[in-house]
A = this chain, B = another copy of it.
Amino acid sequence: MTGPDESVEKAAWREQVGDGAFSANFHAASELIGKRWTGAIIRTLFHGKTRFREIADAIPGLSDRLLSERLKELRSHGVIEPRGDGQGYALTEKGRDLRLILREIAKWAHRWREGD
């Protein structure tokens, strides 16, 4: 836990995200993304499933009521918007920008087999 590698890592981390102060931005973002089912819904949209029924069918255990609630929240945060063609939802620029976060979560989950 200590040693040269650890301090290099800490320095890199500080440079990246600022000092140790509580970050309201960070907190709000992690609460938004991590809310129950939200990660799975965004991941499904990234995979090109845009209609309510498609999203609901792609996520086992997610009720229509909760999906509807989550879509409303994501829309109010500007992460998704109704598609111009009326076929469900599309990720906005802000929503597509979540890609790197989701990728890192997927890689971590794969490395540690979280959920198996």
Residues of B close to A107: CB separation below 8 A: 16-17, 100
Copies in the complex: 2
Interface size on A, residues (CB 8 A): 63
Main secondary structure of the interface of A (DSSP, over half): helix
Q: Which residue of B lies closest to A103 (CB)?
A: B16
The reply to whether B22 and A114 form a contact with Cβ atoms under 8 Å apart is no
The verdict on A105 contacting B40 (CB below 8 Å), with A13-B46, A20-B49, A112-B97 known, is no
The 4 nearest A-B residue pairs measured at CB: A34-B34, A28-B115, A30-B39, A20-B47
Chain A residues close to B by CB (< 8 Å): 1, 9-10, 13-14, 16-20, 22-36, 38-40, 43-44, 46-49, 58-60, 77, 83, 90-91, 94, 96-116
